[in-house]
Amino acid sequence: MLLSPKARLAYLALILLSAGLSVLLFEPQRLLSAGWPPQLSGAGAVLVFGLAYGVCTAALVPRPILNLAAGALFGTQAGFAAALGGTVLGAGLSFALGRALGQEALRPYVRGRWLKAADGQLSRHGFRSMLAIRLFPGMPFVVANYAAAVSRMRCLPFLLATALGSVPNTVAYVIAGSEATSPTSPAFLISTGFIVLSAAVAAVVGWRKRHHLRAAASGGGAADPAAPAPQEEREPVSA
């Protein structure tokens, strides 16, 4: 017998809670200080790190920590490959969990004009909207993943927009991590400057997007489906 939507949502909450507790116990941020286990090296270490990265992001670990660790452990090129692969993997895991366990239960709660406008934006213009979210990450990574999963956005455009849009920010953090021992080097200064600039741009874009959604929800966009239909005018019938 298939589980009800509410039961699947409860399982999703349990999975996320268990993952969060595991992260607190494992403390992946220790990679920045303790380094990578010496038993693993070369391409195998990069692959394992990428897989662990994906699981950690699905378990709510902030990506900047993992990106910095990728650069510090593997350098710019291998670190970027591991970080970007892990980013796409983590996004795919979150999207699959949200779509399978949370969509049916959460969609009835997508009410209110602002939520409907945001849901409509992701459902109709998924690739473009997700690409902007990844390029200017004002919304937390995992929140964007589950928002896309609850919407009607398709998986392939979601993953493609995630891969393309995450490149600039991931490169900046990986370079900063790889050059952390030389904080006065041009590469470190440029990468940290880009991170600060992208955060500022993300704040501005998020502010403008919020007002755009509010304007669309308050009558500038599509009509509210809950609103009553206008009465048709009828010509008087002559006797």
* pLDDT tens-digit series, residues 36-85: 666 667 888 899 899 989 988 888 888 998 999 999 989 999 999 999 99
Q: CA quadruple 22, 170, 34, 36: dihedral positive or negative?
A: positive
d(CA 63, CA 119) in angstroms, rounded, equals: 24
For residue 145, being part of any structural domain is answered with yes
For residue 202, being part of any structural domain is answered with yes
The amino acid at residue 58 is: A
Which among 221, 177, 190 is positioned nearest to 35, based on CA atoms?
Answer: 177
For residue 29, being part of any structural domain is answered with no
133: containing domain: 5-23+44-220
| pLDDT value at 160 more than 90 | yes
| pLDDT value at 229 more than 80 | no
For residue 229, being part of any structural domain is answered with no
For residue 172, being part of any structural domain is answered with yes
How many domains does the chain divide into?
A: 1
For residue 57, being part of any structural domain is answered with yes
Stronger pLDDT, 228 or 174, i.e. the higher one? 174
| pLDDT value at 235 more than 70 | no
Give me the percent of the chain exceeding a pLDDT of 70.
70
| pLDDT value at 222 more than 60 | no
Each residue's pLDDT tens digit, 74-133? 999 999 999 999 999 999 999 998 888 766 666 665 555 555 666 677 778 879 889 988
For residue 197, being part of any structural domain is answered with yes
Look over the chain and give the mean of its residue pLDDT values, rounded to a whole number: 78
Q: Are 150 and 119 in contact (CB under 8 A)?
A: yes
For residue 158, being part of any structural domain is answered with yes
Which among 110, 153, 92, 95 is positioned nearest to 128, based on CA atoms?
Answer: 153
